[in-house]
Amino acid sequence: MTKRKICLFAFTLFFSIPALSAPPLMDLTTSTIGYASLTIFAIAYILVISEEYLQLRKSKPVLLAAGLIWLMIGFLLNQQGQIEIAKAALEHNLLEYSKLLLFLLVAMTYISAMEERRLFDSLQAWMVCKGFNYRTLFWLTGILAFFISPIADNLTTALLMCAVVMKVGGDNNKFINLACINIVIAANAGGAFSPFGDITTLMVWQAGIVSFGQFLDLLIPSIVNYLLPAFIMSRFVEKTQPLTVCEFVELKRGARRIVLLFILTIFTAVGFHLFIDFPPVIGMMMGLAYLQFFGYFLRKTLPSSLAKKTKRALNNNDQAALKRLGSVVPFDVFQRVASSEWDTLLFFYGVVMCVGGLSLLGYLDLVSGVIYTQWNPIWANIMVGGMSAIVDNIPVMYAILTMQPDMSMGNWLLVTLTAGVGGSLLSIGSAAGVALMGATRGKYTFFGHLKWMPVIAIGYAASIIVHLLLNSELFT
């Protein structure tokens, strides 16, 4: 699980988009450099999508693409005597990325700390030991994914629930495939109504377009998006009892307090943004200090804590407890920082720089002029969901925020919804789906997911209709 963590809270906030949305210096969309940049980005993203098949880290192609795109832009503008403008745009992109990097780093550190303290292992063991049948587990993992992802991000949540499904599913590939599809839909839907549930929602919140509380307008549409496909698929899940082995998992010292500190960190980040209009990353960095001081407390009090627990275990003649105490490792915050998903952090750098370069060349203005001027914004935003099923929703949403089309609040919420849940249509449409294909070792597959796409599309369409009806006043 640690390899694929993207927290984002998702654990991720950033993008003060306005400066990136400035008009390009000139229209270079039909120039040789423009075509070359577009081709390089397209090739890089094909490689990103093929990550699981090529065993190629997704950061590598976009890092190379970003460097090549900006090299060509710099060479051209240097010849034209406009290099200072290019440097200013480049430095602004780097500043925006630094906000993302620091925010993600704190979020990933907390999630890594929770995993190291065995919180996720404990939750998995509880579900396995309860002896639920397959259909109950189908609903339980889906519902938990829906309600955990707004806080712990959709990817981490999906991987957590998938571990339970794999443990109880055994050789029942049909159950594993259906349960994983259900988890992907639930995690993506749950992340759509929370600024911390997905990177795209965090982008929209950080850009100041949708306030923290306004995301709750998407709660009911998100519930509909999950429940309709889940109800249909659950009819095909048997009620038989799986053969499971129950195991005891003991939380490490400080596990619950780290959860409380993480919640406090979220409130701190929201408070900085809400009350003094500072970037939320300032609050997140302050939250990292909470964890650092708590780690210091755990290290300093470890000898006395071990002495007490050893005495208790000896009095009770508990050999298992003594063995566990002998393998205690002191908590180290910087080890948690080191275990963050650096491939993801570098991937975001590549995306930000590539999209920023294409914006400077004029491509985003060109696209915006077509889909948000010539089309009805509602249909344009519905199409965004379809795009996010094929191309990752992060560059799609970043491009839209860079365009900054003039839309009503209802439409901004709509594109937030469709970009988030549209990725459920295909297994490659979201980080959760891609990660589960790798984690299940071929038991949850692209074609296994594709077979249920019509059912998922029912939930997608229904969630849009519910949003249009319930929040109709926001479209004026």
> Can you tell me the distance from the alpha carbon of 404 to that of 209, in angstroms, rounded to the nearest whole number?
10
Query: Is the Cβ–Cβ distance between 249 and 163 less than 8 Å?
Result: no
What pLDDT does 345 receive? 75
Out of 12-21, 103-112, 141-150, pick the least confident.
12-21
Query: Phi and psi of 186, rounded to 5°?
Result: -65, -45
Q: What is the DSSP string of 222-245?
A: HHHHHHHHHHHHHTTS--PPP---
Q: What 3-state DSSP class applies to 3?
A: helix
pLDDT of residue 286 exceeding 80, the answer is yes
Percent of the chain's residues with pLDDT above 90? 17
> Can you tell me the distance from the alpha carbon of 189 to that of 174, in angstroms, rounded to the nearest whole number?
23
Unique residue bearing structure tokens 């002495």:
307
CA 107 to chain centre: 11
Q: How confident is the model at residue 454 (pLDDT cuts 50, 70, 90)?
A: very high
pLDDT of residue 453 exceeding 60, the answer is yes
CA–CA distance from 437 to each of 31, 293, 387 (Å)?
A: 40, 38, 20
Q: Which helix (H) or strand (E) holds 302?
A: helix 280-315
The model's pLDDT over 309-363, given as tens digits with 9 standing for 90+, comes to 666 656 666 555 545 544 455 666 677 666 666 777 787 788 878 888 887 887 7
> Can you tell me the distance from the alpha carbon of 185 to that of 423, in angstroms, rounded to the nearest whole number?
9
| Number of residues assigned to the chain | 476
> Can you tell me the distance from the alpha carbon of 71 to that of 74, in angstroms, rounded to the nearest whole number?
5
CA–CA distance from 11 to each of 6, 159, 190 (Å)?
A: 8, 15, 14
The model's pLDDT over 140-154, given as tens digits with 9 standing for 90+, comes to 999 999 998 887 777
Average per-residue pLDDT for the chain: 79
What pLDDT does 198 receive? 77
Mean pLDDT within 177-197? 89
> Can you tell me the distance from the alpha carbon of 51 to that of 63, in angstroms, rounded to the nearest whole number?
14
pLDDT of residue 54 exceeding 50, the answer is yes
The model's pLDDT over 94-104, given as tens digits with 9 standing for 90+, comes to 877 787 778 77
Number of C-beta neighbours around residue 317 at 10 A: 8
Structure-block tokens of residue 28? 């270079």
Q: What global pTM score does this model have?
A: 0.71
What pLDDT does 313 receive? 59
> Can you tell me the distance from the alpha carbon of 377 to that of 142, in angstroms, rounded to the nearest whole number?
32
Query: Is the Cβ–Cβ distance between 312 and 304 less than 8 Å?
Result: no
What pLDDT does 316 receive? 64
Query: Phi and psi of 461, rounded to 5°?
Result: -65, -40
pLDDT of residue 233 exceeding 90, the answer is yes
What pLDDT does 314 receive? 60
Number of C-beta neighbours around residue 181 at 10 A: 26
The single-letter code of the amino acid at 166 is M
